[in-house]
Structure 1
Amino acid sequence: MTISTVKKFAITSVTVTGAALTVPMIADAALENQVLRYGQQSEDVRHLQTLLKEKGYFTYQTATGYYGDITVRAVRQFQGDHSLSVDGIAGPQTIGALLKDRPSEQVRSSQSTSGGSSGTLIRNGMKGESVSNLQRQLRDLGFFNSTVDGHFGRVTQAAVQDFQRSHGLGVDGIVGPQTQRQLQVVQGSESVLGSGGGNSSSGDSGNFTPTSTGLISPGDRGNQVSVLQQQLKDLGYYSHAVTGVFGPVTERAVRDFQRTNQIGADGLVGPQTHRTLASSPKRAGDSVSTTPSAPSGGNGIVRQGMQGQQVTNLQQLLRDKGYMNIAPTGVFGDLTYQAVRKFQQDQSLAVDGIAGPATFGALQGNTSAPSKPSTPPSSGGGSGGNFVTNVVNSASNHLGVPYVWGGTSPSGFDCSGFIQYVFKENGVNTPRTVANMFSSGSSVSSPSVGDIVFFDTTGGPSHAGIYIGNNKFVHAGSSTGVTVADLNNSYWNPRYLGAKRLH
């Protein structure tokens, strides 16, 4: 009998009471002899993803069973951290290292119905003080809003699963050592309104107050990020799951919060943002002045290649005057440069494409300015300026959309699904896969705005994005969702294959 046969037999034949104890051990044994690689889809891959998730390397919300870019990246990071050959392939050495010192939550059990100490499983069907304590903890953290009755039923199980999902744990609804430790960490290291016994504040059990004012920035992860996300969620800026990972969606929520509360909208959570969060912050939708101001710092100069709120302000002013018809992206690329030059020309200013005090003064109405430019700025490249402008506009409208393997809609995109959707919005049909896009496009020596840039991440053309100028492109990244990236960055530059024109 082969290992895979044993595994299938075990999974289908174990009894309900023994399933949680035997299946993980058999699955571990089967996995040790596998070689898993990009493109595979199976239960073994799902088990690999679960192991990587337990150790903090696989950050997608669920184990999908598909070995894609996220899994390759997680395996490579794990291999690098454990002095293994970094090839993104999960062979016996890598899997053996993953299984070593694996948390034993799934293989420990307790038949007690009166509760137990830390290290004892608390699960569906149990009763007692340990369940009451668990329910109080979950209630204080905003996951349980029912009566504390000491009975672990469906409502309690759903609350446990929500907590596990929000903190990157295995979602099984069973409270073992990992989940217990995470509950203790969250309640011990963060000040939670309505926590503990007897001092709870009604209606505020989901509102967190951070104990630290340290800088939190994109790429960070952990309890501080979870607390931040919950705060932003309570105020109406963040509508996604609390993941503890500071990605593009969280950054956008931070910027929206900062903009509404009239503090520097840089997407970084520093002392000023912490203080504002802690002292009567404005909720999403509260009135705030929408007139963008001239940039501060840098002598008031904004030029090609810059990114950030200063560029967003400039683009909004140009848009208000009719010189740009794309949503502000915060990236000063070719289209922004051309729009600035056209505005300067119409205002008899020095035409250099650099937005300094004179240009900002004219944009803000300190000198007379036409409501619309006489002719739209040329975008260069492609099959017409309108198409190029509209493609960039469409792409920027989807910034922050999460990555979903096989995704082809604004609820979730993969890289080729994103490109196909944006181009179709503008009347151009493209192939569905990156490889077919690469084969069907016309090669260009250097990309122009609206061209497709291709990368080799796994062998051959396997990732692509839409070029927006100034070495920047918009793409659906497996770990970032739809975002803007730089061709010169240390990851993309060595993987760049070239550009093609599909329009």
Structure 2
Amino acid sequence: MPTTTLRAPGQAGGARAAALVLALAAVLAGLLLGPTAGQAHAATDVRLLQRDLAGLSYAPLSGVDGVYGSRTTESVRHFQRDNGLDADGDAGPATLSALTAKVQQVQSKAGTPADGDYATATLNAVRTYQSAHGLDADGIAGPLTMGAMNIDRITSSGTGTSADTKLLQRNLAGLGYLAANGVDGIYGPATKDAVLSFQSDNALSVDGIAGPQTDAALSAKVQQVQSKAGTPADGDYGTATLNAVRTYQSAHGLDADGIAGPVTMASMGIARELGGGSPGARAAARPPSPRCPAAPGTRSSRPPAPSSACTSGAPTATRTARARRGARCSPAGPGGRPGSASAPPSAATSTTTDATTARCTAV
């Protein structure tokens, strides 16, 4: 007798319903959680992204493979840090817009259509530009090429963090290079101009980028101010330093605004400009003013100046008195009148006493 398999009624329909429910759940989860990294990158022209990154020297040309892997992610982070963007490695709309704009700047300077795609035509145009400007003609718009094109490669502090930018701005503002209300954590044009001014004053590469050398020089200058103001030299021109500098300024009769500008730094004996020296050093280097020969019986530590300098520098009344004394000591002329040097002296006048000679010598 044949056997039959008993099936619960509606079992097959129930399995299909369960699968449908799971599919709907996945769709809902995607809507709520957003696209996955793979889906997001699939929506991006990865090769275009990689060409632009490679053209600006953030990635090697060999990295243009269409795969959004760890190397591309790190290249994106590097670009984001240099341009004040959230360094998450994800080429979102803000990052893509900034990258395209930078490529278009390079293309415009190189004289090729600014389509935002660093492809073969752009490589060739940049090579031509580099050859004409004595640069390595590799077609890549690296730091030197962008510098020659006067394009800002870095528009942030290079760290990508607002806290570091604010420290930079506090120090620039404390030394009078930036307005106090410019401490906003954004590396914008005002901050760049302040960095340029500081670099120019301190014999640094004037590129507007607060790199390691600029940061070190700025921190050292702030520490000098802090030491003179009697506050811990931590290199951060914060509230404590502002207050300490105000106290110093008040004690030295300066405008007590807490800013170590040129006048305050000069008072502290700190060279604001490299090689400028302090006011005291400049005064010491100034040559001494000429002095007249010392009177008999006195000593002078300075060499005597020419007689013309003494004569021209003497007041009128003094010169007149000297002339009168000189007239009394000059040989007498005819009739005993003094001052007629052309007449030969008589025997009476030539036999002067030692006292008279002494008086005349001392004049």
Query: Does TM, normalized by the shorter one, top 0.5?
Result: no
Q: Hey, which of these two has a bigger chunk of strand by percent?
A: 1
Quickly name the TM-score band, shorter chain normalised: 0.3 to 0.5
TM-score (norm 1): 0.27
Q: Hey, which of these two has a bigger chunk of helix by percent?
A: 2
Larger radius of gyration between Structure 1 and Structure 2? 2
